[in-house]
Amino acid sequence: MSRPPLLDLVNVTVEVDGKTVCREVSLAIGEGETHILLGPNGSGKSSLLNAIMGTGPGAVVDGTVTFDGVDVTDADVTERARLGLGISAQHPPALPGVTVRRLAHAMGADDRLAEATEALELDRMIPRDVNVGFSGGEVKRWEVCKLLLQQPLLSLFDEPESGVDLEHVAVVGRAVGRLLATPTPTGRARSALMITHTGFVLDHVTPTRGHLMVDGRLVADGDAREMFDAIRRDGFAA
Which residues are at the interface with ligand ATP (CB under 6 A)? 16-17, 19, 21, 39, 41-47, 57, 90
Residue from the set 34, 43, 46, 191 that interacts with Mg ion by CB under 5 A: 46
- Cis peptide preceding 57, ω within 30 of 0: yes
**Closest-CA residue to 25 (of 171, 176, 218, 234):** 218
Nearer Cβ to ligand ATP (110/215): 215
71: β partners: 66
Question: Of the ranges 5-13, 14-22, 84-92, 225-233, which one interacts with Mg ion (CB under 5 A)?
Answer: 84-92
What's the rounded Cα separation, in Å, for the pair 216 and 43?
Answer: 5
Residue 47 as a binder of Mg ion (CB under 5 A): the answer is: no
Distance CA(141)–CA(148), nearest Å, equals 11
Distance of closest approach, residue 32 Cβ to ligand ATP, in angstroms: 26
Could you tell which of Mg ion, ligand ATP, none binds residue 39, using a CB distance below 5 to 8 A set by kind?
ligand ATP
Question: Beta strands of 47-115 (E only): which ranges?
Answer: 59-67, 70-71, 85-88, 95-99
Chosen residue from 34, 50, 73, 90 binding Mg ion by CB under 5 A: 90
Q: Least separation, in Å, of the C-beta of 172 and ligand ATP?
A: 17
State in angstroms the smallest separation of the CB of 220 from ligand ATP: 15
CB 6 within 8 A of CB 67: yes
